[in-house]
Amino acid sequence: MSTNVTKTTKSRKSGATKARSTKSKAAAPRSKARAKPKNETPEAETKTLLGDDHFAGLAPGKAPTINMGGQPAFFSCWDIHAYYGESYIVQGVTFDVREGEIIALLGRNGAGKTSTLRAISRVDDPALRHGEIWLDHKPLHQMKAFEASRVGIGLVPEDRRIIQGLTVEENLKLAQIAPPVGWSLERIYDLFPRLGERRTQEGTTLSGGEQQMLAIGRTLARDVKLLLLDEPYEGLAPVIVQEIERTLEQIKTLGMTTIIVEQNAIAALHLADRAIILDMGQVVFDGVAQEVLDNADLRQQYLAI
């Protein structure tokens, strides 16, 4: 069955104010995650293919289709709910990504963008308590972080996590210590000549921009099917942002499927094909990136720009 997720999120947009005013994230009971999805349209009701206990092994066994003309999406998040302890943060997020597509995942500070990327990457926190996540027919929701990485999730975290005491090259080689190996070091140095020049320098002594390049390079050193970038431009000088933007454009032409979270929404929207906007842990917009660039009201309401 194929339904239109854009329709769903648009209809939710009108109901979003009500939903927000009645919700208290921190106080949300655990049973909330078991509640029926909050989508309001009849289509949304019928598209739900998950029972309350699907998470205990009753998954449909194939990637759900949302708006893909009956084809399974390359990547899908399906009604995911995730918690830090009892804090209910990711509140029923659903979206799909086509192979080779670039998604800008946007929203104000605290909207749940990082938490969504972390839930997708299957790190322990936030804990995924409901929903399904599929990458290229593989059920990520049933995996731990190391397994998700093995099947192609490549998260470049906001804090970059360059390993202290290792050179640039050692950081890259460490990423390749276990299969599946992705790009060769030569290819990474071609993409980021600065890293090649500094290959023997300790990674943590690089500038912020260079560390960001190393964090991206290290992820590409693994065989990545979905690149997740969390605020790659954060704290960087405009000239470095432009340099990294050019690199991401190059990665885009190679057809790398990517989700980019960025406070610099305009830059992300120029790079992206599609935009998904989160507000208080829910999708409030899913549509072409240009639509957000063209719609000042939407940007003002959800992005404050």
Catalog residues that contact ligand ADP under the rule CB under 6 A: 84, 87, 89, 107, 109-115, 125
**Contact with Mg ion (CB under 5 A) among 48, 67, 114, 142:** 114
Which one, 108 or 113, has the nearer CB to Mg ion? 113
Which one, 92 or 107, has the nearer CB to Mg ion? 107
Token representation of residue 70:
């009956």
Which one, 115 or 211, has the nearer CB to Mg ion? 115
Partner residues linked to 226 by β-bridges: 153, 257
Which of the listed partners (Mg ion, ligand ADP, none) does 284 bind, with a CB threshold of 5 to 8 Å by partner kind? none
Which of the listed partners (ligand ADP, Mg ion, none) does 291 bind, with a CB threshold of 5 to 8 Å by partner kind? none
Q: How far is the CB of 255 from Mg ion (least distance, A)?
A: 26
Burial tier of 51 (Cβ tally within 10 Å: 0-12, 13-18, 19+): exposed
Contacts of 110 (CB under 8 A, 6+ apart): none
Task: Give the whole-angstrom CA distance, residue 40 versus residue 270.
Answer: 31
Which of the listed partners (ligand ADP, Mg ion, none) does 160 bind, with a CB threshold of 5 to 8 Å by partner kind? none
* C-alpha distance from residue 237 to each of 107, 155, 214, 240, 249 (Å): 22, 23, 17, 5, 18
Q: How far is the CB of 95 from ligand ADP (least distance, A)?
A: 15
* C-alpha distance from residue 78 to each of 50, 55, 91, 244, 274 (Å): 9, 12, 11, 31, 18
Task: Give the whole-angstrom CA distance, residue 286 versus residue 96.
Answer: 10
Which of the listed partners (Mg ion, ligand ADP, none) does 115 bind, with a CB threshold of 5 to 8 Å by partner kind? ligand ADP
- Residue 236, number of CB atoms within 10 A of its CB: 20
Which of the listed partners (ligand ADP, Mg ion, none) does 287 bind, with a CB threshold of 5 to 8 Å by partner kind? none
Which of the listed partners (ligand ADP, Mg ion, none) does 111 bind, with a CB threshold of 5 to 8 Å by partner kind? ligand ADP
Which one, 183 or 233, has the nearer CB to Mg ion? 233
Q: How far is the CB of 109 from ligand ADP (least distance, A)?
A: 5
Partner residues linked to 91 by β-bridges: 81
Helix (H, G, I), strand (E, B) or coil at 84: strand
Which of the listed partners (ligand ADP, Mg ion, none) does 22 bind, with a CB threshold of 5 to 8 Å by partner kind? none
Interface with Mg ion by CB under 5 A: which range of 10-18, 106-114, 252-260, 278-286? 106-114
Which one, 175 or 261, has the nearer CB to ligand ADP? 261
Token representation of residue 47:
């598209």
DSSP E strands in 85-140: the ranges are 87-97, 102-106, 127-135, 138-139
Which one, 206 or 259, has the nearer CB to ligand ADP? 259
In the chain, the largest separation of any two C-alpha atoms, in whole Å, equals 59
Token representation of residue 132:
């399904």
Which one, 159 or 249, has the nearer CB to ligand ADP? 159
By Cβ distance, which residue is nearest to Mg ion?
114
**Where along the sequence are the contacts to Mg ion (CB under 5 A)?**
113-114
